[in-house]
Amino acid sequence: MNHRCRKWRFAPARSAIFILGVLLAATVALWQESAIAAKLSPIKGEEVLSRNLWRTPVSYRTDYPPGSIIIDTSERYLYFITGPGTALRYGVAVGREGKEWEGSMKVTKKREWPDWRPTPGMRMAAKAKGKPLPKVVPGGPNNPLGARAIYLGRSQYRIHGTTAPQSIGKAASSGCIRMLNEHVIDLYDRVELRARVVVLP
24 and 79: one domain?
no
Rounded to an integer, the average pLDDT of 160-187 is 97
Dmax over CA atoms of the chain, in Å, equals 87
84 and 16: one domain?
no
Rounded to the nearest 5 degrees, what angle is found at the Cα of 36, between the Cα atoms of 39 and 165? 85
CATH of the domain at 77: 2.40.440.10
Of the chain, the percentage scoring pLDDT greater than 90 comes to 66
Number of C-beta neighbours around residue 124 at 10 A: 13
160 is catalytic: yes
Residue numbers of the domain that contains 76: 45-200
72 and 163: one domain?
yes
3, 5, 176, 183: which is the annotated catalytic residue? 176
Task: Please provide residue 184's backbone torsions phi and psi, each rounded to the nearest 5 degrees.
Answer: -70, -30
9 and 68: one domain?
no
More confident: 134 or 30:
134
109 and 189: one domain?
yes
Q: How far is CA 150 from the centre of its chain?
A: 12
86 and 27: one domain?
no
Is residue 49 within 8 A of residue 183, CB to CB? The reply is no
How many domains in the chain? 2
Rounded to an integer, the average pLDDT of 1-5 is 51
Residues with Cβ within 8 Å of 182's Cβ and at least 6 positions away in sequence, in order, are 43, 44, 45, 46
183 is catalytic: no
More confident: 98 or 14:
98
3, 5, 160, 183: which is the annotated catalytic residue? 160
Look at residues 76, 106, 110 and name the one whose alpha carbon lies nearest to residue 90. 76
